[in-house]
C-alpha cells in the first residue's frame, strides 16, 4: 500500500453548514414545489443538478432560485466541524495528500475563501463541481481526486455526510467514513465503513476502523 490520501466533502464535513442549507432548500421546496423536505433529496448534488431536478422544464425558475441561493450564501457562516481544522493542520504537518472534493461551484467557494482564507492553504487541492461531469451520487468527483494524486482506492480515505455523497464515495472504491453531522449515525452507518460524530477523536476512530495509525494530536 502507498501513503494514505484523504478526500473531504466540504459542507457538513469541514464546515458545519448543512443546517443552513436545509433551511434554504426546504423553504424553496415549500414555496415552489409543495415539498417541505426537499433539502434531504438534494444534499451532495451540484447546484446545476439540483436546479434541473427541481425545475426540469422551467429555465426561468432555475435562474430565479439560483439568484436566491447566491444571495443566501453571501450571508452564510462557515464554522468548522469540531476537530476538522486541527485534523487538516495535522495532515499538512506530516505531509499527507489531501483534497476538498465538493459539489459547490467556484462562486460559492469564493465566498468560502473570503470567510475562511486559510482553507486554501490547509489542503493540497480543492475540486469544485465544475470539474467533474456527473454529480454525486456518481463517483466521478472522488475518482478524479484519486487520479490527481495517483492513489488507489485502498489508499484513499473519504469523509462524507450526505447520502448522495456517501453513495459516490462507496462507488469509488475508497474507504468511506461517514460524519454524523447531517444525518443520524444509524442512518449513515449502512453506507460507510466507519462513522464519526466529528473529528475530535479522529486518530482513535481511524485506528480502530482501518488500522490507520496516526500520531495523537
Q: Give me 140's grid cell.
A: 466521478
Query: Alpha helices of the chain — where are they, by DSSP H?
Result: 18-28, 38-42, 47-54, 59-74, 84-93, 106-115, 119-122, 140-149, 163-172, 185-188, 202-210
Instruction: Give the homologous superfamily in CATH for domain 5-16+80-210.
Output: HAD superfamily/HAD-like (3.40.50.1000)
Domain coordinates of the chain in residue numbers?
Answer: 5-16+80-210, 18-74
Q: What pLDDT is attached to residue 43? A: 87
Number of DSSP helices (H) and strands (E) in the chain, helices first: 11, 6
Q: Give me 54's grid cell.
A: 427541481
Nearest Cα to Cα of residue 119 among 16, 217, 10: 10
Q: What are the beta bridge partners of residue 177?
A: 159, 194
Buried b (16+ CB within 10 A) or exposed e, 125-152: ebbbbebbeebbbbbbbbbbbbebbebe
The strand pair at 175-179 and 5-8 is best described as unpaired
Give mean pLDDT in consecutive 10-residue pieces for the chain, a chain of 217 residues. Answer: 90 94 94 93 89 95 94 93 97 96 94 96 97 93 97 97 96 98 96 97 92 75
Amino acid at each position: 500500500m502507498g501513503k494514505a490520501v484523504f478526500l473531504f466533502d466540504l459542507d457538513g464535513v469541514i464546515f458545519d453548514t448543512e443546517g443552513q442549507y436545509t433551511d434554504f432548500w426546504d423553504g424553496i421546496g415549500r414555496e415552489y414545489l409543495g415539498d417541505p423536505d426537499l433539502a434531504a433529496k438534494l444534499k451532495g448534488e451540484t447546484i446545476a443538478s439540483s436546479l434541473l431536478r427541481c425545475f426540469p422544464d422551467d429555465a426561468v425558475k432555475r435562474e430565479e432560485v439560483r439568484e436566491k441561493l447566491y444571495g443566501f450564501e453571501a450571508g452564510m457562516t462557515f464554522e468548522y466541524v469540531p476537530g476538522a481544522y486541527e485534523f487538516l493542520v495535522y495532515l499538512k504537518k506530516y505531509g499527507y495528500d489531501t483534497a476538498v472534493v465538493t459539489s459547490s461551484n467556484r462562486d460559492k467557494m469564493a465566498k468560502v475563501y473570503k470567510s475562511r482564507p486559510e482553507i486554501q492553504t490547509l489542503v493540497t487541492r480543492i475540486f469544485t463541481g465544475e470539474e467533474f461531469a456527473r454529480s454525486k451520487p456518481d463517483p466521478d468527483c472522488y475518482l478524479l481526486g484519486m487520479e490527481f494524486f495517483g492513489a488507489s482506492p485502498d489508499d484513499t480515505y473519504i469523509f462524507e455526510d450526505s447520502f448522495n455523497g456517501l453513495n459516490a464515495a462507496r462507488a469509488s472504491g475508497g474507504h468511506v467514513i461517514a460524519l454524523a453531522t447531517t444525518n443520524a449515525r444509524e442512518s449513515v452507518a449502512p453506507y460507510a465503513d466507519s462513522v464519526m460524530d466529528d473529528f475530535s477523536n479522529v486518530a482513535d476512530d481511524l485506528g480502530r476502523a482501518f488500522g490507520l495509525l496516526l500520531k495523537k494530536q
